[in-house]
A and B are shown apart, each in its own frame.
Chain A
Amino acid sequence: MLKYGGYCGRFLRVDLTAKKITTEELTEEFVKKYVGCNGFGAAILYNELPARIDPFSAANKVVVATGPLTGTVVPCTPKVGFFTKSPLTGGFMDSYAGGHFGAELKFAGFDGVIIEGASEAPTWLYIEDGQAELRDASKLWGLSVPETEAAVRRDLNNDAVHVASIGPAGEQLVRFSCVMVDMSHAAGRGGVGAVLGSKKLKAIAVYGRKNPIPVADPEAVLALAEKIYQHIQETPSLATGMPKYGTTGALKANQTSGILGTRNWQSETFEHASSIDGDACLRELFEKNLACFQCPLRCTHFSRIKEGKYAGTTTIGPQYETMYSLGSVCGLTDIKAVAKANEYCNAMGLDTISAGVTVAFAMELYERGILSYEELGGLDLTFGNDEGLLAALESIVARRGIYKLLGEGTKRAAEVLGRETYKYAINVKGLELAGHSVRGYKGMSLGYATSTRGGSHQDMRHIPERAGLFDRRDPSGKAQLNYDITSTTTIRDTLNYCAMIEDVVGRVGITEKHAEMVNAVTGLNLSVNEVQQLADRIWNLERAFNVREGMSRKDDVLPYRFMHEPIPEGPSEGMYCPPEELEKMKDELYEIRGWTRDGIPSRDKLLELGLDQVAEELWP
């Protein structure tokens, strides 16, 4: 038995090739060194994956992991992480989902699951109170996400199970397909769903009633929970803003600052923003607030379209990222169409961000005359054509014609298409960009370029710059800001609390609050310094994973558009990130991080962080 609180102390290992399931105890040493979710995922993948494997080969693995806060009384801690070598970026990928799955997995007795090998026939995994078994999924193959969940529930005759599953997109190896948790929460990014598809693992269902999670200091944990509650209740943006708008308010905020990705980022102001913003959601869609496990914020909106051509559609969301990716970036002017596309992506298991940005890429190529109507299979992909967007999404899932190539993501598509199409491909390291401006925030310019997973807004965060705490137009000091913020987001993903309470714990720099949180739950008694070291260890390990795959400074780049075309109009007119500016910020960041000029963690840095084996491998 592990002596620390917040853990079950065990992982499941599922070998799909041999159809063998074993359990593994977490050692004290491993827990001390990596603490939880992001740390566990990074350590397991680095240690167990050989370099340069094909992400779709049986040698790839998917790690599912929770953090020590998951399944405790600390509010806003529902997350579960999925880790794999990404078929989009070829690098380390972590993607997190809310819902109830993470907590339920722990109540069933496991901190995580390591999925390895590949099954020949479709299969699904059922975990219940310390037991696990593989079941036949031949009847589930081809089903949408909601159909899969319903079939699993029916099969188990239990409505209370929580399900993580893939849709037809994952089965068809669309490189940006996601894992859907409880039907509506996506571990969206980087193609984890496609990796599960390549392993023929359709779903994981969990049910746990027998394994409550002990914490180190129940009184301190309760006091911490009460403090977070109080903070929430005293902060209007959380107490009333979250239930009312969830994340949808960001659309109007970004439009006001002139940093809303529009028509494949040709512009960053959208003249139709008010018809697809948070108020439009309330007006046209809102039905009811929903929440993840243990979350009082209830940011999730259940939506129903009451009238018009999409009447009858119900969906959970859309959230801000989707309003950007299936909305403004494709030029859509009808929030109901955005909701319809959201429903479709969730049902098929497509990452809404990459899916929307990829269609926007095709739309720009069409408007520029680079791709013809015929090449596009007779679809009119004019910006703003919602029917074109829906048909394109459908064709991507069906892997039809040119859409088969588009399902490989914008990076690969641009490489195959040639004709300078890379200039319009909005991705970093192959991962399409989230809806927070590269050009409008200097901190985000550096953040996107250097994030392990590529174009993700979850490592570097835009909010301190948006709030005006740091000058978003000034590149100086952004390397330090990047270091401070990515340290907190790494700890966020390791303890595993939701980004929505980053404000409560602190967004810029590791403080006493992070230490207090981990110590109350685990009893690890880490100092602030040790928490900072933990963040550094995990971040460097992720970086080392990518270095081993051949990545370095040259891969820390931004999409061509953001380095060469200033924002053409609006409040942020003229802003962009020229290569010289980016290179200078990179120099500063590498220096702070203890990396070489080429962006490789130095031998000394790795040794200092206790990553001796990594040091040997990177510096033989």
Chain B
Amino acid sequence: MKLAYDQSKCTGCAVCASVCSFRLKGLVHPGGTRIKFAYVSPTDSHVIYCRQCENAPCALACPQGAIQKDGKTSAWVVDAEKCVGCGLCLEACPYGAIRLDTESGKADKCDLCQGDPACVKHCLAQALTVQD
């Protein structure tokens, strides 16, 4: 499974980013979310999200083999134990969808909420949906 996004339906509410960051640390934090909200103007905003790529450049770039595909959700997931925080995955991702957590210094990315994406559930505009 993966996220799908239709910008023509996106209202610019940033709810997806808020709930994603809240799920992580119990805080709304525009600087600490796996799905990023990009405001360009009142009528034109979009989100930056992980595509769960076929041959994920982030996983390929990781020298530690820390980014692995989850068998159940097929999301690429960072193993924080293995991650050394080198940031090579950030550079490799063509979409800007990985972040370095400022507290742990480790890479962090969308894990599809282990199969129940909170951002999708809260996007009542249905700009974000799940795709098989």
Contacts and interface: CB of A to CB of B under 8 A. Distances in A.
Interface in B1-28: 8-9, 11-15, 18-19, 21-22, 25-28
A72 B22 CA distance: 9
A6 B40 CA distance: 27
Given A159-B41, A183-B42, A288-B43, A296 B28 contact: no
Contact of A298 (B13, B26, B41): B13
Nearest to B8: A288
Chain B interface extent, by class = 20 to 34
Given A100-B14, A232-B124, A291-B13, A162 B27 contact: no
Interface string A277-309: 000000000001111111111101010000000
B18 to A, nearest CB: 5
A466 B13 CA distance: 30
Interface in B51-72: none
Interface residues of A, number: 43
A229 B22 contact: no
Contact of A159 (B21, B27, B40): B40
Contact of B15 (A243, A288, A295, A314): A295
Interface stretch (B30-38, B80-88, B90-98): B30-38
B13 A296 contact: yes
A290 B11 contact: yes
Given A222-B22, A296-B122, A316 B43 contact: yes
A293 B39 CA distance: 11
A184 B42 contact: yes
In the complex, the 10 A-B pairs of residues with the closest C-beta atoms, listed nearest first:
A218-B26, A212-B29, A209-B31, A291-B11, A291-B13, A212-B27, A296-B124, A73-B22, A298-B11, A160-B39
A293 B18 CA distance: 9
A294 B40 contact: no
B113 interface: no
B14 A293 contact: yes
A376 interface: no
A99 interface: yes
Interface string B91-132: 000000000000000000000000000000011110000000
A213 interface: yes
Given A107-B30, A298-B11, 16 more contacts: A73-B19, A159-B38, A159-B41, A184-B42, A210-B31, A212-B21, A212-B25, A214-B27, A218-B27, A288-B8, A289-B125, A291-B12, A293-B14, A294-B13, A295-B15, A298-B125
Nearest to A185: B42
A316 B41 CA distance: 12
A349 interface: no
Nearest to B123: A296
Interface in A178-210: 182-184, 208-210
Nearest to B11: A291
A366 B14 CA distance: 48
A213 to B, nearest CB: 6
A12 to B, nearest CB: 19
Most buried by A among B31, B32, B123: B31
Majority secondary structure of chain A interface residues (helix, strand, loop or mixed): loop
Contacts of A296: 13, 15, 122-125
Interface string A109-153: 000000000000000000000000000000000000000000000
Contacts of B26: 214-215, 218, 222
Nearest to B31: A209
14 contacts: A99-B42, A107-B30, A159-B38, A159-B39, A159-B41, A182-B42, A209-B31, A214-B27, A218-B26, A239-B124, A288-B11, A290-B12, A291-B12, A316-B42
Nearest to B37: A160
Contacts of A239: 124
Contacts of A302: 43
A303 to B, nearest CB: 10
A71 interface: yes
A529 interface: no
Given A222-B22, A296-B15, A290 B31 contact: no
A183 B125 CA distance: 22
B28 A213 contact: yes
A75 B14 CA distance: 11
Contacts of A99: 42
B122 A212 contact: no
Nearest to B33: A212
B42 A294 contact: no
Contact of A290 (B18, B42, B123): B42
B15 A183 contact: no
A212 B22 CA distance: 10
A233 interface: yes
Contacts of A208: 30
Contacts of B11: 288-291, 298, 300
Contacts of B123: 296
B28 A72 contact: yes
B64 to A, nearest CB: 28
Contacts of A160: 38-40
A218 to B, nearest CB: 3
A210 B30 CA distance: 8
B19 A290 contact: no
Nearest to B102: A210
Contact of B125 (A100, A229, A291): A291
A183 B41 contact: yes
Contacts of A209: 30-31
A2 to B, nearest CB: 16
A183 B40 CA distance: 12
A404 to B, nearest CB: 32
A239 B124 CA distance: 8
Q: Which of B28, B39, B40 has the most CB of A within 10 A?
A: B28
* Most chain A beta-carbon contacts within 10 A, residue among B14, B41, B124: B124
A303 B16 CA distance: 25
B50 to A, nearest CB: 20
A297 B12 CA distance: 11
B13 A292 contact: yes
Interface in A213-234: 213-215, 218, 222, 229, 232-233
Interface in A264-282: none
B54 to A, nearest CB: 31
B4 to A, nearest CB: 18
Contact of A293 (B13, B32, B41): B13
B113 to A, nearest CB: 13
Question: Which interface residue of B9, B12, B19, B125 has the most chain A CB atoms within 10 A?
Answer: B12
B13 to A, nearest CB: 4
Interface in A73-98: 73, 75
B13 A295 contact: yes
A103 B124 CA distance: 20
A4 B126 CA distance: 35
* Interface-centre pick from A73, A160, A292 (highest chain B CB count, 10 A): A73
